Amino acid sequence: PAGTVWVAALGPGGHRVRGLLLAGDRALVRRASVAAALALLGSLLSDELQRRPPTRRGADASDSSGSGDGREQGPGAGRWTR
């Protein structure tokens, strides 16, 4: 029926699919579809981050050398990776 939309998200930890039945005109259904797809992706990524927290690249996070103001310096400062 009109307003039936399927959205899906795929990430490193799996995938999710949702069926929606949305009311409204074409523009409203499109906006709601995009919002639902982004929410689905956000929940997938959030769950993935909870399962595998990021690790520091470069110097050990416990390294106390630096400027003393809490900010990191040098190449790779502030970069995160899995």
Q: Does residue 8 form part of some domain?
A: yes
Residue, of 50 and 8, whose pLDDT is higher? 8
Q: Is residue 65 part of a domain?
A: no
Q: Do 13 and 48 contact (CB within 8 A), yes or no?
A: yes
Containing domain of residue 43, as a range? 4-51
Higher pLDDT, 20 or 62: 20
pTM of the complete model: 0.59
- Whole-angstrom Cα distance, residue 32 to residue 19? 12
Measured in degrees and rounded to the nearest 5, phi and psi for residue 63 equal: -60, 120
In this prediction, residue 49 carries a pLDDT of 84
User: Is position 21 within any domain?
Assistant: yes
Report pLDDT for 62: 52
Q: Please say whether the beta carbons of 58 and 76 come within 8 A.
A: yes
Is residue 39 included in any domain, yes or no?
yes
Specify if 38 maps to a domain: yes
Give the span between the Cα atoms of 7 and 17, in whole angstroms: 6
77 lies in some domain:
no
Which pLDDT belongs to residue 59?
A: 55
- The pLDDT of residue 81 is 47
In a domain, 42, yes or no: yes
21-76 pLDDT tens trace = 999 999 999 999 999 999 999 999 888 888 876 677 765 555 544 545 544 455 55
Number of domains in the chain: 1
Please report whether residue 56 resides in a domain: no
